[in-house]
Amino acid sequence: MPTQMIVRIDPELKSQVTRFAQAEGKNVSVLVRELLEAYVKNRDMSGHIDALWNRIGTKMRRRNVCETDIAAAVRAARAGE
């Protein structure tokens, strides 16, 4: 269930946000919610790490690299090869 949050801002900033929201066909609540969601998403390290692993996995699949290849590379690196 959604909850409310009260935020104090400068009246001029509120006017600007209201104008931007109207220009985008949104109300202020929707605009602020989207901004907060983007803020949290951009700072969520687990999301960045997941995206990185997905990119790595995609590149590995394209190059036909499998788990045994990775294990062999790790063993070789540990052996100093």
**What are the domain boundaries of the chain?**
9-43, 45-81
| Per-residue model confidence (pLDDT) at position 28 | 96
Mutual angle of helices 28-43 and 11-23, in 10-degree steps: 100
Cα separation, 7 vs 15, whole angstroms: 14
Give me the helices (H) in 28-80, please: 28-43, 45-62, 67-79
- pTM of the predicted model as reported, rounded to 2 decimal places: 0.56
Q: What is the pLDDT along the chain (81 residues), one digit of tens a residue?
A: 889 999 999 999 999 999 999 999 999 999 999 999 999 988 888 888 988 999 999 999 999 998 898 899 899 999 986
Q: Locate 74 and state its tokens.
A: 């790790």
Cα separation, 28 vs 19, whole angstroms: 9
Closest CA to 70 of 53, 51, 47, 45: 53
